[in-house]
Structure 1
Amino acid sequence: MLADKIRARRKVLDISQQQLARISGIAQSSISRYENGDGGITLEYIVKLANVLECSPLYLVSDEFGISADKEEQPSTVTPKELAVLRKNLKECLNIIGE
């Protein structure tokens, strides 16, 4: 469901509704409505949210239209903080191998 996917992606990225609103240019009250399933959302806002939430618009709306999103459409559940740690560890490993 769109509401669940917006909320889940926001949580994975560790951003608040206020931060999402500021970055996307969508009012926080609208984001709250979308997460509660209380309001219609335009295609323009779906695209804006998908960009900020680092996922595809298709991923966000696939349930509403009965579409099965491809694996490429499904976002990673790795948080930005976890990704930074992985990159750091990978660089250290590459340095060790290269020596």
Structure 2
Amino acid sequence: MDTDPKKLTGRHRKLNHFECGKVVSHVQRDDGDWIRHTLMLQGYDVPFVYRRKQRYQSLKGASVNLTYYAHSEEIAGVSFEQMKVVRIKRA
């Protein structure tokens, strides 16, 4: 499987790539059998979310490269914008 961000964003038009974003908040919550990770990045007021099978060390203060797409989630009739992360790596 090819995970080069340029190739991924070239094939999937809705994907975006962001490099060297500084993480100001990293929250990990149980979501059934998965762990839901929520990142807030410096200069952005939209959360970046992804799920993994296990907990990881905190990314708070780290620089990360993200490949993501915009997504809206409706909770109690109110739509919330968030970014669904499909690839994350430390910068």
TM-score by length of 1: 0.23
Please identify which structure carries the higher helix content.
Answer: 1
Please identify which structure carries the higher strand content.
Answer: 2
TM-score by length of 2: 0.24
From the CA coordinates, give the structure whose radius of gyration is larger.
1
